[in-house]
Structure 1
Amino acid sequence: MESKPRPIVVVGAGVAGLTVALSVRHRPVVLLTRGERGRSGSTPWAQGGIAASWHPDDHPTTHAFDTLRAGSEANNSHAVELLTASARDAIEWLIRHGVSFDQERDGPALCLEGGHSHARILHARGDGSGREIVEALSTSASIAANVEWRENVDVDGLLLREHKACGVTLRTQEGAVEVIEADSVVLATGGLGALYQWTSNPPECDGSGLALGMLAGARTADLEFVQFHPTLLCPSGTDERSRLELISEAVRGAGATLVDETGFRFMEGIHPLRDLAPRDVVARSVWRVRQAGGQTYLDARVIGDAWPTRFPSIFRACQQRGIDPRGDLIPVVPAPHFHMGGLSVDLDSRTSVVDLYAVGEVACNGVHGANRLASNSLLEGVVFGRRLGALLDSDDWCNRSKQHCTATTTIVSADTLGQEHLLTLRQRVSEALGPEREHEAMQDLSEWLRSDERLAHSRQGNLVSEMLLSAMRRRRSIGAHFRSDAVNAGQYVATGQDVGEASLATTDIP
């Protein structure tokens, strides 16, 4: 009698996790999510769309060039080529799963966003692209016979057997602890913005999957590269939520400009693309105005009466704050939005731990380099999620999975911080690992973490410590990692290398 096949466990049900689950057709999949299906993680909040060289005048090589330029050419060029060459197929796959992209008379409506040389961003429901995509994929996964959903569970441990991943431990809302043995474990847990005081990410994006992978011994890469989005709706004095409403880059693509309290357009002279410069440049410029005591606003009155239909979610968020963007300036602040670093993976999403995979924002395959190009993240989740799903579904993988192991199982896990410690940690991370960094502040935070054993050995503390080490080792500014104490601190770094190697600075930031 044959034993029951062990499932593939996918942790996370955003665009990356859902795509993996749907791309495995012939093997059982257990899909685990912290929240409810279709509502968990960052994907439902994604206002920006998905990039693809769809127009006849555009080409994947041009999309690749823009991606490399935005990433300060610190990208893995093979990953970039794979991403951009697969973009059209990814869009067509999403359409087959029921995603309805906004249309014009001659095809999909293509928008322009920062860092792109062509209008190549496909949107759905205006500024509701992420919600449309995750709802369509969730519907497909809900009816897939081989996919078992588990909602409202927190994965807090990984099972290792002979240094191979072989399952997870999870905790239910009721506090029950369960063990799920698996043939392979896929981490698709998103980013770590919730480790900061303010972020565009929901609370569950706290780096938990990244931290667990590290505890299991998986190598990491580029942990210091945290992208700050320049335009999040400034919190009110009474707002205690960590997640701020995002004002999509597409608003600037539609003609909105950044101004200070005097009406001065402060991106003039900063970068040739002004308000549509790469996000690291714009975010630092907004941050500097505010650090100098100024106020920062998005002047989007040019959109006029089209606001309610073109950007309905943002329009509602502004109205809830008593702001009418058709006639009012929108107060904005920069905040963490996307993590380019993560668990180091190859182009098949393999980590350095056998049978442990990572895909989406938790992973680092080098496709984004030092700074993500707008609207490449949803695309990354689909392209590499499909590739991983096909690998796990292959005949070779199915035959290998039948080889059961009888070695002792080890569970790797770490305690999570209580609310009081977490609030302090988030404040200090925001100060030391913000849009601009300097050694003394990072060293102070590192010493503070080491001074408290509970902090140092917690899931969050361990992750932040590794981020600090990566940030302090990279002494030159590059992309989203900007060292105010570096020799090139006053410059916009277009390309660059690691510690001790030269960086090319092309445009000064006053």
Structure 2
Amino acid sequence: MATTAVAAYQPKPSKGFDDVIIIGGGLAGLFCALKLAPRAVTVLAAAPIGRGASSAWAQAGIAAAVGPGDTVDKHVTDTIIAGDGIVDEDVIRMMATEASARIHDLLEFGVPFDRDLAGKLSVSREAAHSESRIVRVRGDMAGRAIMEALVAAVRKTPSIRVLEGYVAEELITGNGRVTGVAARDKAGSGEDLHRLNASHVVMATGGVGHLYEVTTNPTEARGGGIGMAARAGARLADMEFVQFHPTAINVGKDPAPLATEALRGHGATLHNSAGERFMLGLHKDAELAPRDVVARGIFAEVKAGRGAFLDCRAAVHDFADEFPTVFGYCTEAGIDPAKEMIPVVPAAHYFMGGIWTDADGRSSLPGFWACGECTSTGAHGANRLASNSLLEAVVFAARIALRLGSEMTGSAPANWQEGSVSSASHLAENDHPNMAALRRTMSPNLGVLRDGDGMRDALRTILDLARNSHSARFDNVITTAKLIAVAALNRLESRGGHFRTDFPEESPDWKRRTLLTLEQANAIVPDLLETDR
């Protein structure tokens, strides 16, 4: 995304209050701020708004039943099937029902969704969808286009104060509720820890992909916001469910570039080095099977040394025009996707777990709300349906704004101080020295395939890294990793994105969501580490 000039404000060291502080400058955070306008809001962003956001990298688009023949009921049914038995039907029905309204909000903010010759929204099909319902921008540029439009809208909205380069480290609590945020400036390297008080705090910090060595997520997506919420006492849900995108482009990059699922929706096929189309024997829908099934199929081929390759040669006629983002990734790697197959590998992509919220985005802590990938609303179950992620972000951001609108005082923030407009530069987030060790532990032991022995080894390593942490930011990250390991060890079955080779079947006893707090997780760690469990 091109660098743009944005307003940078510095807070006064006052004891005043903001009505709302939103932590996170991605899709969910910016959309919530815009929907709250003209009420005053402060957005804390670790990097320039729109940068470091997984949403900006999303290629496919937003799922919405707006095409001919499609219905909300069909969208709900597809989501429930993909979610492998633990989707909250009330939540996904609400999301699917409100999808059209949120698409029109995005159009009003300037998102240039593709249209047909009659001016109607164009829709495409993706894996596990029974209908064409993915609203896109130029094939694979939806995330980037959406974020560019929202950043521009935020810049033009005077009620939104943006503090760029501010990394939240701790939720401030008092009198039984969240009352603010402690954040460090200069991309988290500042010496001073700023105390920013608020009537309400909204967490929108994204997912956990960068906990893994192979991921499609930006560096900032390491679960810090989730761990921060857990350390404050918030309830978490479904922490064992990590989705691995089947077709990251396997060219040794970190993060790994993504070959959008829409390519398989267009007819691209998967082959191993022997030319075998291996998905045909694994699922009736072959390449269009749910993501967890395709990821395991590709993982098996790669692990066996045969490799996996996406063949788009017959499916895509004008690659540079139809899928410019993927075409650019391939060209950069020296691959001509019109003539060659694309090497692919599963990569950590999306987190179904996170901060538990109700249907309005309220967490278990008074004064604390959450939206986007850092949450677990029940909409995705054990395995997210493709393109429901951006939908969830905007639906819950709007619902939070609606509820907060009736609870805010409407007064301007007491710690408001305007600054000058400056050129935004990339604010890199420095890795903690133990981060590489954590990623090396998570990938083999809590990845596409898992077993009890490997997960116990991972948990022991995580506990050692936690004891040796001397950083509040790493404390948040390692807390999230620990919760993933605890939840995964505790679920004695395979379901959706959580596949255990020692418990390969689904169990009716586990057809339910996992709810826990950090205190509860800590209490069961000794039992989980027993090898004869």
CA-based RMSD: 2.3
**Residue of structure 2 in register with 1:60 after alignment:** 72
Total equivalences in the alignment = 477
Give the one of 237, 240, 243 matched to 1:227.
Answer: 243
Per the TM alignment, residue 191 of structure 1 is displaced from its structure 2 partner at its CA by: 0.0
Letter in 1 for 2:298: V
Letter in 2 for 1:295: G
Question: Within 2, Cα distance between the matches of 1:496 and 1:300?
Answer: 39
Matches within 5 A, 1:244-323: 244-323=256-335
Matches within 5 A, 1:164-203: 164-173=177-186, 175=190, 176-203=192-219
**Residue of structure 2 in register with 1:388 after alignment:** 400
Q: Is the 8 A contact 2:84 2:381 kept in 1?
A: yes
- For residues 51-76 of structure 1, the C-alpha deviation after alignment (integer angstroms, 9 at most, x for no partner) is 11112311001000001100012111
- Alignment of 1:110 with 2:123, yes or no, is yes
**Residue of structure 2 in register with 1:486 after alignment:** 503
Question: Within 2, Cα distance between the matches of 1:136 and 1:474?
Answer: 41
**Residue of structure 2 in register with 1:454 after alignment:** 468
Per the TM alignment, residue 41 of structure 1 is displaced from its structure 2 partner at its CA by: 1.2
Per the TM alignment, residue 126 of structure 1 is displaced from its structure 2 partner at its CA by: 2.1
Question: Within 2, Cα distance between the matches of 1:428 and 1:89?
Answer: 42
Q: Is the 8 A contact 2:225 2:476 kept in 1?
A: no
Letter in 1 for 2:489: M
SS in 2 for 1:148: strand
- For residues 170-205 of structure 1, the C-alpha deviation after alignment (integer angstroms, 9 at most, x for no partner) is 111161432111111100000000111110000000
Q: Is the 8 A contact 1:74 1:496 kept in 2?
A: no
Give the one of 434, 444, 448 matched to 2:447.
Answer: 434
Letter in 2 for 1:155: A
**Residue of structure 1 in register with 2:524 after alignment:** none
Per the TM alignment, residue 398 of structure 1 is displaced from its structure 2 partner at its CA by: 2.5
Matches within 5 A, 1:40-79: 40-79=52-91
**Residue of structure 2 in register with 1:507 after alignment:** none
- For residues 375-417 of structure 1, the C-alpha deviation after alignment (integer angstroms, 9 at most, x for no partner) is 00111111111011111111xx125999x9xxxxxxxxxxx99
TM-score (norm 1): 0.89
**Residue of structure 1 in register with 2:493 after alignment:** 476
SS in 2 for 1:460: helix
SS in 2 for 1:166: strand
Question: Within 2, Cα distance between the matches of 1:417 and 1:36?
Answer: 15
- Alignment of 1:371 with 2:383, yes or no, is yes
Question: Within 2, Cα distance between the matches of 1:168 and 1:340?
Answer: 25
- For residues 418-461 of structure 1, the C-alpha deviation after alignment (integer angstroms, 9 at most, x for no partner) is 64421111011001111111000001111223345125983222
**Residue of structure 1 in register with 2:529 after alignment:** none
Percent identity among equivalent residues?
A: 37
- Alignment of 1:205 with 2:221, yes or no, is yes
Give the one of 22, 33, 55 matched to 2:45.
Answer: 33
**Residue of structure 2 in register with 1:411 after alignment:** none
Q: Is the 8 A contact 2:441 2:461 kept in 1?
A: no
Per the TM alignment, residue 91 of structure 1 is displaced from its structure 2 partner at its CA by: 0.7
Letter in 2 for 1:475: L
Question: Within 1, Cα distance between the matches of 2:166 and 2:198?
Answer: 17
Give the one of 24, 43, 54 matched to 2:36.
Answer: 24
Question: Within 2, Cα distance between the matches of 1:151 and 1:458?
Answer: 22
Question: Within 2, Cα distance between the matches of 1:451 and 1:398?
Answer: 43
Per the TM alignment, residue 25 of structure 1 is displaced from its structure 2 partner at its CA by: 2.5
Q: 1:36 to 1:487 in 2, by over 3 A?
A: closer
Structure 2, gaps ≥5 residues long: 1-14, 415-428, 515-533
Please say which of residues 479-488 and 449-458 is displaced more in the overlay.
449-458
Question: Within 2, Cα distance between the matches of 1:319 and 1:56?
Answer: 36
Q: Is the 8 A contact 2:26 2:49 kept in 1?
A: no
Q: 1:32 to 1:260 in 2, by over 3 A?
A: same
Question: Within 1, Cα distance between the matches of 2:383 and 2:443?
Answer: 18
TM-score (norm 2): 0.86
**Residue of structure 2 in register with 1:443 after alignment:** 456
Q: 1:5 to 1:463 in 2, by over 3 A?
A: closer
Please say which of residues 284-293 and 459-468 is displaced more in the overlay.
459-468
Q: Is the 8 A contact 1:343 1:362 kept in 2?
A: yes
Q: Is the 8 A contact 1:72 1:496 kept in 2?
A: no
SS in 1 for 2:380: coil
Q: Is the 8 A contact 1:222 1:340 kept in 2?
A: yes
Question: Within 1, Cα distance between the matches of 2:386 and 2:90?
Answer: 19
**Residue of structure 2 in register with 1:497 after alignment:** 511
Letter in 2 for 1:333: V
- For residues 350-393 of structure 1, the C-alpha deviation after alignment (integer angstroms, 9 at most, x for no partner) is 11111011101001110000000000011111111101111111
Q: 1:494 to 1:299 in 2, by over 3 A?
A: farther
Letter in 1 for 2:370: A
Question: Within 1, Cα distance between the matches of 2:410 and 2:236?
Answer: 26
- For residues 253-277 of structure 1, the C-alpha deviation after alignment (integer angstroms, 9 at most, x for no partner) is 1110010001110000211111011
Q: Is the 8 A contact 1:258 1:299 kept in 2?
A: yes
SS in 2 for 1:184: strand
Q: Is the 8 A contact 1:268 1:274 kept in 2?
A: yes
Q: 1:499 to 1:367 in 2, by over 3 A?
A: closer
Question: Within 2, Cα distance between the matches of 1:448 and 1:36?
Answer: 34
SS in 1 for 2:207: coil
Q: 1:251 to 1:304 in 2, by over 3 A?
A: closer
